[in-house]
Amino acid sequence: MSELWKAGLAQLALHVESGDVSCREVVSAALARIERLDPKLGAFVRLRGEAALAEARAADEARAQKRARSRLHGLPIAVKDIFASREFETHCGSRILAGFRAPYDATVLRKLREAGLVVVGSTNTVSQFDEAMLRPLRFSTVVPMPLPACSARLAAARVAPLAVLMLPCVVCRDRVA
């Protein structure tokens, strides 16, 4: 299947279930697209390339043994850098939290992992405090499309991965976009 980046989660799930494509191929295609586009967009603060590919391989094995955790098992997703994670730093765009690694996973992150989704990375965000008082840890997200009236910086960090179709799904807050 060519141009995997154009498919949404539901379409990808159907293609994986039918054997048209493997989870590893889907995750690999997403990572390649992110690596190609993100240097200009700055939508991601971290990628889990090797770990994501290993999880996708494990998902393919589980699917082959009819042990998929959900229809979305093995599909790529990103989370905004506001969700606590045991596995990687969560600094919420703030210098104050630089280096922070939570002793637990946020509930939404835990539930995504329980369903078998592959978290390929976390997306940029801006701490309102740091934006006003300090230089943010990292903020260079480009707004690739017109947005409704709101904080363009915060909206850009939320929509950039979807707007350019780097991933089929990004968790921004307590909702999935």
pLDDT of residue 105: 87
pTM over cut 0.75: yes
Mean pLDDT of 78-98: 79
Structural domains of the chain, ranges and CATH numbers in brackets: 4-171 (3.90.1300.10)
Residue 101 near residue 53, CB atoms below 8 Å: no
Residue 63 near residue 16, CB atoms below 8 Å: yes
Task: Write out the E strands in 27-163.
Answer: 44-47, 76-80, 118-123
Mean pLDDT of 77-93: 82
pLDDT in tens, 131-166: 444 444 454 454 455 544 455 455 555 555 554 567
pLDDT of residue 85: 87
What is the longest distance spanned by two Cα atoms in the chain?
53
Residue 113 near residue 68, CB atoms below 8 Å: no
Strand order in the sheet with 44-47: 44-47, 118-123, 76-80, 170-171
DSSP string computed for 49-79 = HHHHHHHHHHHHHHHHTT--SSTTTT-EEEE
